[in-house]
């Protein structure tokens, strides 16, 4: 048996709109107004702290203490409005259904806090399609440490090395490399132009092609 493990933000779904809204809530509270815009989608998918650092730097107000102070505020704002602007990427659930029909186990390994990831997948109505979900705080370590990827695979009842990781960032590429497993990086996210330079085992232009790509990298039997 083999598993396909997905990153969440920027891979399964475009979550940037809700993330940017949460960050701008913080910036407004600081008296700075809306600092980040749609052009910062790539920043959003790098996480809350990166959004805060980027916005504060842009306003010449960068302060690590402010980042630490507002990070929990950002998480609370995000939890309160986590899915109103978020959309699954076209074809992702159809491809997952095909993979499952062919015998692959399906899981998630994300650097989003586990509770928020669970909440988002429930809101999107697709949580039941994933047999495991490991978040940033599930274990003492997070990606690019390989252990969260291994744990997401183990929870599916699959040998931890018998997986492929589908992601959208250098973090995902480095996680797969550290785990000694193949990575597939999507080219339709905000950082698409950077994916080829990371030299993953495969690039994915659209989800319709995913089952064939997975079968070539991680054949069953």
Q: What is the CATH number of the domain that holds 171?
A: 3.40.50.1000
Residue 201 predicted with pLDDT over 70: yes
What phi, psi does 131 have (nearest 5°)?
Answer: -80, -15
Residues found in the chain: 221
Indicate if 137 and 204 belong to the same structural domain.
Answer: yes
Residues 198 and 130 reside in one and the same domain: yes
Q: Check whether 193 has a pLDDT greater than 80.
A: no
Per-chain mean pLDDT for the chain: 96
Q: Are residue 76 and residue 98 in the same domain, yes or no?
A: no
User: Which structural domain, as residue segments, surrounds residue 210?
Assistant: 3-14+86-217
Indicate if 145 belongs to the active site. no
Same domain, 114 and 173: yes
Same domain, 114 and 74: no
- For residue 221, the model assigns a pLDDT of 64
Both 211 and 111 in one domain: the answer is yes
Whether this model's pTM surpasses 0.85 = yes
Domain's final residue, options 59, 80, 101? 80
Residues 110, 187, single domain; the answer is yes
Instruction: Indicate whether 45 and 120 sit together in one domain.
Output: no
Whole-angstrom distance, CA of residue 144 vs CA of residue 157: 22
Lowest mean pLDDT among 4-13, 137-146, 166-175, 189-198: 189-198
Which of 62, 80, 98 terminates a domain? The answer is 80
According to the model, what pLDDT value does residue 191 have?
72
Query: Quick one: 74 and 25 in the same domain?
Result: yes
DSSP secondary structure, 168-197, as one string = SSHHHHHHHHHHT--EEEESSSTTHHHHGG
DSSP states along 79-113: HHTSSTT-EEPTTHHHHHHHHHHTT-EEEEE-SS-
Catalytic residue among 7, 14, 18, 172: 7
pLDDT digits (tens, 9 = 90+) for 41-77: 999 988 999 999 999 999 999 999 999 999 999 999 9
Of 63, 80, 97, the residue at which a domain comes to its end is 80
| Count of domains observed in the chain | 2
Same domain, 50 and 97: no
Same domain (yes/no): 70, 92: no
63, 90: one domain = no
CA distance 200 to 172: 10
């Amino acid at each position: 048996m083999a598993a396909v493990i997905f990153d969440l933000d920027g891979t399964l779904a475009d979550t940037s709109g809700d993330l940017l809204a949460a960050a701008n809530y913080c910036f407004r509270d600081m008296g700075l107004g809306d600092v980040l815009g749609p052009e910062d989608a790539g920043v959003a998918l790098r996480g809350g702290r990166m959004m805060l650092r980027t916005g504060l730097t842009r306003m010449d107000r960068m302060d690590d203490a402010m980042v630490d102070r507002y990070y929990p505020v950002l998480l609370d704002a995000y939890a309160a409005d986590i899915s109103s602007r978020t959309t699954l990427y076209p074809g992702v659930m159809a491809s997952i259904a095909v993979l499952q029909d062919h015998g692959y186990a399906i899981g998630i390994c994300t650097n989003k806090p586990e509770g928020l990831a669970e909440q988002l997948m429930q809101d999107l109505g697709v949580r039941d399609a994933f047999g495991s979900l490991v978040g940033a705080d599930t274990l003492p370590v997070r990606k690019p440490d390989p252990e969260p990827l291994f744990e997401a695979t183990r929870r599916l009842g699959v040998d931890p090395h018998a997986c492929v990781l589908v992601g959208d960032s250098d973090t995902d590429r480095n996680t797969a490399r550290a785990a000694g497993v193949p990575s597939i990086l999507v080219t339709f996210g905000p950082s698409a132009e950077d994916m080829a330079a990371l030299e993953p085992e495969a690039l994915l232009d659209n989800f319709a092609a995913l089952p064939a790509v997975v079968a070539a990298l991680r054949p069953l039997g």
